[in-house]
Structure 1
């Protein structure tokens, strides 16, 4: 007998990392929603059978879209910028903020699981206790209880020092069957191991030398936030960290280094170190090479830099599915 597949609606879907990971865990993605046209193009191009909606979640009318009527899991990767410690403007300044829109959708859909992802400060920092309390009160009104945790990308084979905060709300009987995923037993690949083939693809003779020196998982991929400007690997401190691992972070390349490029760690980084391409950044985020990203370079980098790595979402998805199957409420 074929095992029942649980369903997912993914909000603020972006490049599709969280939805893709849940799909890998056996879920059926019934709808994906994002405000960005290129993000929706990415999802539609890779998963044409998903019901994709380009809309502002704060103004979306779910009654206009039949696939939004129900799902076992309502998933959302909230916009990150408002939940940084240094952030000067919270998402909650507007009464119809994105977090409230997610909670409104949960009230409409009434899923068995509400899954919210953001940076770790969202689930840990004192600054955002009011936002966490807002979630608790909303899910308690639905008869759920909430748990939160932080998962580290390298624990799940993603070659990047990256952490993600998650809030999960379920009925108490379901939640009693949930356990957070354990790290995988295999060693996490390094930056060099992950990108060696790509760096050598255009005949760069020093690719192996570069890869040998890049002997740890990559630094945190950041930058690319909407309205921030062009595609780069973050602020000055982030760029200096990338430079120590042999990458110039001031911009994103169109192609891998060619046969004439010369590696030099001693001179100005932009002259002696390779830059990453969008496709290489996607590999460092745990995406397979066949996941094609729509849009021009800045848009494509913004999509991939802000996402949940699919292997992290998949590990969490397996545990959510196990909880739903083990629960006496099933």
Structure 2
């Protein structure tokens, strides 16, 4: 590691936002210093190492548990199901997926092969009617994409969102009328179209009868996932229900790449061998020079300039480029193509991308969960998924909410 790191580099390494680091500087948690040559405000690597020791303790006791047992059989309608990361996580928590919709044929094949009992509807969501589940299903979920809306007035309504996949999500929620709905997305939804897209979604849910819980971005590393990944969670509660939804409590222990790929607390065996992408010869020669936890700035200066091209002269840390992950840290967020330039996540010991099964482990899929299609499609399915353990932790919060809701009812009997 270099002696000094920029704000961007420090934020990426620690897994916190730049705003958090600026606040820490004011509060004395991690102080920036003046770099001797440039006089820029930077962070001493030794200070970061000392802090990371407290952030990522190897033997930290994790006395946090979000586990809640379901007091009835709660059912889920899942949209945009992908390869089943969220659905599997909810199933592990104790929820039952009664129908799943997905348009991608390979993802549908993955779902069908792993869970033959699941009712998988393959095709465009707009072609399906879910009114059969009206007042029967307890939860509608969906990882809809982040699409801008066309505003037709001061307050965005459902009709204004037609043609977008959020419209379809809201339509299905309206058809099913569940006590609670869950949308998930990337952190970027917060700022998409200057925040108007998210506000539009909240406005639409309000129109169809749902109050939105304060939106929260959950960090996967806080929920038994060995990866610095974030997901925005949007929870809607039907307006006739006066019960507070509580997000899952963060765990004390942060899991690392070693926990993902080796036998330990997360998995009871080392990761199985599998096929994986390969680097072209030139890239491998460059990455051979990068140490564990290192990146492009650890290369000789002439190779830095050649490899980075014009990016070398631009601002920002670009700490994900030519990056070799260390065993004792969580993985950076996985990417769609593990071998593409500027988003390298190189294996700690071998100069290669992570294999398909290593990708799946980092997303906390069990080794028994198989992925259909060509290798590129398998990587895409895994990358696009909600980490299974994160889905499980959210599932416990949903079960807790539903337990409290149905405790106020005389009975809950729904058979599909």
Range of TM-score over shorter length: 0.7 to 0.9
Distance of aligned partners of 1:140 and 1:75 in 2 relative to their CA distance in 1, 3 Å threshold:
same
Secondary structure in structure 1 of the residue aligned to 2:222: helix
Residue of structure 1 equivalent to 2:199: 133
Change (3 A) 1:221 1:3: same
Q: What SS does structure 1 have at the residue aligned with 2:169? A: helix
Deviation at 1:136, TM superposition (A): 1.9
Aligned residues: 275
In the TM superposition, residue 322 of structure 1 has moved relative to its aligned partner by 0.6
Match of 2:258 among 184, 188, 192: 192
Q: Distance in 1 between matches of 2:223 and 2:339?
A: 22
Determine which of 275, 280, 294 is the counterpart of 2:358.
280
1:174-189 matches, within 5 Å, as: 174=241, 176-185=243-252, 187-189=253-255
CA contact (8 A) 1:192 1:210 kept: no
SS where residue 198 of structure 1 aligns? Answer: coil
2:62 corresponds in structure 1 to none
Aligned match of 2:388 in 310, 313, 320?
310
Structure 1 18/199 Cα, relative in aligned 2: closer, same or farther at 3 Å? closer
The answer on 1:164 being equivalent to 2:231 is yes
1:200 CA displacement: 7.8
Give the structure 2 partner of residue 87 of structure 1. none
- Tell me: CA distance 1:156–1:234, structure 2 relative to 1, closer, same or farther (3 Å): farther
User: Matches of 1:49 and 1:303 in 2, distance apart?
Assistant: 20
* Structure with max Cα Rg: 2
Structure 2 partner of 1:319: 397
Could you tell me which residue of structure 2 aligns to residue 215 of structure 1?
328
Aligned to 2:138: 72
Task: Mark the CA change 1:194 to 1:39 in structure 2 (over 3 Å): closer, same or farther.
Answer: same
When normalised by structure 1's length, the TM-score is: 0.75
Work out whether residues 58 and 96 of structure 1, in 8 Å CA contact, stay in contact via their aligned partners in 2. no
Matched, 1:35 2:103: yes
Maintained 8 Å contact 2:274/2:355: no
1:48 aligns with 2:116: yes
CA deviation after TM superposition for structure 1 residue 113, in Å:
1.0
TM-fit CA distance, 1:302: 0.7
Aligned-partner Cα distance in 1 for 2:81–2:208: 24
Query: So what's the TM-score if we normalise by structure 2?
Result: 0.60
1:41-84 CA-partner distances (Å, limit 9, x unpaired) = 11111111110010111333446xx468841100001236x58x
Partner residue of 1:255?
none
SS in structure 1 of the partner of residue 332 of structure 2: coil
The verdict on how the C-alpha distance between 1:233 and 1:100 changes in structure 2, with shifts beyond 3 A counting, is: farther
Which residue number in structure 2 is paired with residue 113 of structure 1? 180
**Equivalent pair of 1:78/1:98 in contact (CA under 8 Å):** yes
Structure 1 segments unaligned to the other structure (5+ residues): 84-91, 203-208, 224-230, 247-262, 264-271
Aligned equivalents of 1:300, 1:62: Cα separation in 2: 29
Cα deviation for residue 6 of structure 1 reads 0.9
Identify the residue that residue 338 of structure 2 maps to in structure 1.
Answer: 232
C-alpha distance 97-234 of structure 1, shift in aligned 2 (>3 A): farther
Partner of 1:298: 376
Q: Secondary structure at the match of 2:228?
A: coil
The alignment's C-alpha RMSD in Å is 2.9
Partner of 1:254: none
